[in-house]
Structures are given as C-alpha cells and as structure tokens.
Amino acid sequence: MLPLFFARHFVQPVLMNNTNRTTLGQILLLCFVALAACSADRESGKVDAGSDDAIDLIIKGDHIVTMDDDRTIISNGAVAVDDGIIIAIGTQAEIEAQFRSRQTLAGDKRVVMPGLVNGHGHAAMTLLRGVADDLELMDWLNNYIFPSEVEFVDSEFVRIGTELACWEMIRGGTTTFVDMYYFPDTIAEVVVDCGMRAMISATVIDQRSPDAEGAADSISKGSAFINRWKNRNPRITPMFGPHANYTLNAEQLAATRAAAIELGVPISIHMSESPFELQYSQDTFGMTSIEMYESIGFFEGPTIAAHVVWPTAAEIPILVSRKVGVIHNPTSNMKIASGISPVAEMLAAGVRVGLGTDGAASNNDLDMWEEMRLAAFLQKVDRMDPRVLPADTVLSMATTGGATAIGLGDITGSLEVGKRADIIQVAFDDVHHVPTFNVVSHLVYVTDEQDVASVIVDGQVLMLEHEFLTIDTERVTAEAVEFAARIQAALEQRNRE
Ligand SMILES: [Zn+2]
C-alpha cells in the first residue's frame, strides 16, 4: 500500500547529498576485510593475489542450494565468480582444482544460495516504520501517513529512508528489490552506492505528490528519469509505477503504458489489492480490476502486479497469458486486512508469483524470510491443508520464481553459470539449525535474517560476515533518528491542535 498524497503544495529544499563520505571507520573496516580475506585465502591454500590468472572470488558452503530447474544441491560445494558473473559451480575439490581466487569465503557451517528478490516495496517508508499501527485503513492514511508525507517527503527523506532500507535488506540477504516511491533519481543514486540491484518505479498518480503535480506531470517526470537511467548502470532498471486504478483513470493508465512501451521499460503497479478496489472498479468501470486492465491493453508490456488478493476465476487466465508477474505480500495483506491471495491457485494455473514485503509502514520490516514463512502458513491455514505451498515452492517465490516474475530471471534468482553473481551465505551454526535434516526446510521454516552472514551482488561483496562494506551504518542511524524526531514532534504538535 503506497500512501496517497492529497496535500497542498509545499516547498522543501532538495538535497541530493548522496556522496560517499569515507570515514576512518570505513577505512579500518576495509583494512580488516582485506586481512580477513587474506587469512581466509591462506586457509584455503589457494591464494595468489598477485597472479594474473586468479579469479575474483570463490564462495564455499556445506551446501550450495542452486535453485536451478533441477533444484540441484551440492554438498561441500563452491561457486566461482569472476567479473561479476558465476563462472563455475561444483564441489570444493573441483573448484579448487580448477581456479585460484583473490578472495575466498570459507564455507564451514555455511549454506550458499541465490540472493533473495523482494518484488514489491516502498523502501524510503522505513522512515515511517511504526509511526502508527492497528488502525482502520483510512484513519491510518488520513491522520498519520498522509500528513507525515505532506510535511516530510522530499529528496533527503528518500535518501535516508532508502539507505536505511538497503542496509536492512542487505542484512537480510535481499540482493534485488522492486521499488515504487517519489524522487526516483535519489533512490537510484543510493542503490548505485550501496551495491544492490533494483527496479525503480517512478510513481505515477493523479494528484499532487511530493515530486509531481498530477498524472501528466508524473508521466513526464518519470519519462525523464527513465531516460536518465536507462542503460546507465546494469544494476538499475528504471520503470514506471502507476499507483492503482483508483488513483488514475483509464486514459491515464493507458497513457502510462504507452510511455513505457515507447521507452522500452516495464511497469509495476498495485492491483486487485482490497475489497475497496474491487467495488470501486465495478462502480467506475463496470468490470473487476484485472478485466479492466485487460480491456485497455494495459498488459501489452511487462507488468509487475503487487498483491492480486482478489482475482476472479476469469481473471487468473489473463494473468497467465499476459505473463503478469504477481507479487504476494502476505504480511502487508494480513496487517492491513486486505485478504488472503489465492497464491496456490495462481501457481497451479501457471501464474508467475514472487514475494514482497511492501513498505515498512505496513509490515513493519523488510524481512523476506518472514514473508516466506507467512506465505506458506497463510495458505495452509486458509485451505486447512498443510500440503499447500510446500517449502521448495516458497523458496522459489523468493528466488528464481520471484526473479522470473519481475522479468530478471535470465540474470539473477538462481546459481547457474552465466548468471550475475547475486549470492548469499547463510550461517547454519545457530542452535535453531541443529540438527539439519533438510536444508530447504530450514531455509523456509527456521532461518531468520540475522543468520545471513555474507552478501554478494554482481560479484561485489556488500556484507562480509555481518560487516557492512558499502553502507555507513552509524551515519544512517543518526540521520534516521534525527528525521524521525522531527516527524514525531510534528505529529505531537498536530495532535495537540
Ligand atoms: Zn505497496
């Protein structure tokens, strides 16, 4: 749920302060990392940092969960990475016989798997985390979220909130995310610096928003953003994010699709999320939501549809034939009481379904492990059938299936030779992983985000044994706390009035 924005115009200084400030702490950390890498390499006995034929990185694990089509799991395995690409996967013996690397991540009590794909969210809303909970939807929006956005959402808010989100997502093993919020250039700059992979949607909405005056203006500004970022950085996919069919009319939705086709980019959107939307669509268009989108040719280009809680039996085949990527957000759907999405039916019909957290204001964290667990449990209790949505299916929704749903299945989501090296190492030394009969069962039903030890995106190590290499966590914490204090003071002031 992306909060809407109904407010009067306001002017905020635009701060594009996104430069990397190298602190002494970062320098010391890098030295430490270099030493740690050297000692790990020495342990493996295969270090030759000066050698020309050494590859960039070898990542070892007790188990390599590839999530390839055969669901191959390699015991005592290793993944070889060079120039950002996975160049070989095999047993540690095979990989070590074939390659020498400049850096090696030791694999004792570690599971190696693809990085997680968070298919829907509003990253900067981490700054509104917990600002108000347990309220009826319109009370929550009108009295808490909207006023906070009216007063505070500017480029600086988006920079701090997105950095906070990237930190949290890296910590939890997410390597790719799909975002929809305001000031998309700022989001993109943060993502470039933190090293993640992201599809960044410029929000299109027919009302005054923090960065546009209405539908036409947001399409125009979104087009300019897309032109600035298309083909600029291989980790960034710019796109349009039309909000929903109750905040845009049919002509505006069609115009957004036309612009997306012209620019050759996909679209992400909220679709069939709530009973309110169903009723609104019937009253306004005389059709349910997905039928309405089909009737205006909206699915003529790649579409990532968040939620899809209320598809009719007639609409599910449309999602299949149009190859719509559906993103299931179980925590948000439960917290806002949107309903229970028929995920099992959609998967059985052949719909591409991934997982997402939605924004932190309606979750309230960005923990994909929790989404996996809740997705499974919600379907099981809804059908009163524990066989529904088994662990492997859920793990796929968070990795290879999710990557396919958002259109990046060719480059990420599984560990296969030729794919980009988006890889995580999960520590299996905590008591809750003892004993381990079935690795996939543990990953879905036991593992927490704190278990993620190391994170690699595009071959770059972003977190090494819980140490963050691309984010100044102390600075981000200080900035977030300060911003939150301003929000708190403003809300208290307003409540006194
Ligand atoms: Zn949303």
Residue whose token pair is 């959609």: 346
Compute the distance between CA of residue 319 and CA of residue 291 in angstroms, rounded to an integer: 10
Can you give the pLDDT at residue 191?
Answer: 98
Annotation: CATH topology of 116-405: TIM Barrel (3.20.20)
CB distance 333 to 309 below 8 Å: yes
The model carries a pTM of 0.90
- pLDDT higher for 65 or 22? 65
pLDDT tens for 172-211 read 999 999 999 999 999 999 999 999 999 999 999 998 889 9
Of 424, 362, 397, 470, which is closest to residue 22 (Cα–Cα)?
470
Q: How confident is the model over 472-492, as a mean pLDDT? A: 93
What number is the average pLDDT over the span 392-409? 98
Gap from CA of 356 to ligand 1 centroid (Å): 9
- Res 468 pLDDT > 50: yes
What span, in angstroms and rounded, lies between the C-alpha atoms of 138 and 128?
16
Could you tell me which residues come within 8 angstroms of residue 300 by beta carbon, excluding any fewer than 6 positions away?
Answer: 257, 261
Question: Where in the chain are the domains?
Answer: 54-114+425-465, 116-405
Q: What are phi and psi of 476, to 5 degrees?
A: -65, -40
- Alpha carbon distance 196, 121 (integer Å): 15
Distance from the CA of 126 to the center of ligand 1, in angstroms?
Answer: 13
What is the spatial distance between Cα 222 and Cα 240, in angstroms, rounded to a whole number? 7
Q: How far does the centroid of ligand 1 lie from the alpha carbon of residue 292, in Å?
A: 20
Ligand 1 centroid – CA 304 distance (Å): 12
Dist. CA 112–CA 421, nearest whole Å: 12
Lowest mean pLDDT: which of 204-218, 248-262, 483-497?
Answer: 483-497
Under a CB-based contact definition with an 8 Å cutoff, are residues 347 and 334 in contact? no
pLDDT tens-digit series, residues 71-89: 999 999 999 999 999 999 9
- What is the rounded distance in angstroms from the CA atom of residue 229 to the CA atom of residue 184? 10
Radius of gyration of the chain (CA): 22
CA of 93 relative to ligand 1 center, distance in Å: 45
- Expressed in angstroms and rounded, the spacing between residue 335 Cα and the centre of ligand 1 is 13
Given a cut of 70, is residue 226 above it in pLDDT?
yes
pLDDT at 87: 98
Share of the chain above pLDDT 90, in %: 80
Rounded to the nearest whole angstrom, what is the distance from the C-alpha of residue 123 to the centroid of ligand 1? 10
Contacts of residue 75, Cβ cutoff 8 Å, sequence gap at least 6: 62, 63, 91
Could you tell me the distance, in angstroms and rounded to a whole number, from the CA of residue 245 to the centre of ligand 1? 13
- CATH topology assigned to domain 54-114+425-465: Urease, subunit C; domain 1 (2.30.40)
Distance 246 CA to ligand 1 centre (A): 14
